[in-house]
């Protein structure tokens, strides 16, 4: 599995995806109905650091530290959470 994932923000959902995309336009095509924005592929550590910097306390993160590390260690290609 990939050692990087994209953080994708949709209308009412956030995703972490290990799928390979060559551009944000490809991501938008996959989720065109609800697409808001996406971030370049990041490592597990980079996503955790980004969430810590941007959201502050872990209770405010879209995904917990545990969810992120388990996602990177697992076989799932995408995880999502309704916001």
Is residue 57 in a domain? yes
Q: Which residue has the higher pLDDT, 63 or 1?
A: 63
| Tally of domains within the chain | 1
Confidence (pLDDT) at 2: 76
Helix/strand/coil for 65 = helix
Is residue 1 in a domain? no
Q: Are 36 and 10 in contact (CB under 8 A)?
A: yes
The angle, 0 to 180 degrees and rounded to 10, between the axes of the packed helices 44-55 and 65-73 is 160
For the chain, state the CA radius of gyration: 12
Integer angstrom CA distances of residue 79 from 69, 74, 75: 12, 11, 11
Range of the domain at 36: 6-82
- pTM of model > 0.85: yes
Is residue 34 in a domain? yes
Is residue 14 in a domain? yes
Confidence (pLDDT) at 33: 79
Q: Compute the average pLDDT of residues 6-14.
A: 95
């Amino acid at each position: 599995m990939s050692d990087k994932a994209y953080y994708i923000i949709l209308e009412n959902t956030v995703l972490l995806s290990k799928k390979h995309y060559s551009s944000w336009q490809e991501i938008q095509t996959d989720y065109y109905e609800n697409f808001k924005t996406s971030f370049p592929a990041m490592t597990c550590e980079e996503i955790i650091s980004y969430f810590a910097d941007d959201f502050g306390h872990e209770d405010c993160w879209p995904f917990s530290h545990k969810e992120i590390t388990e996602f990177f260690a697992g076989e799932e290609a995408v995880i999502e959470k309704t916001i």
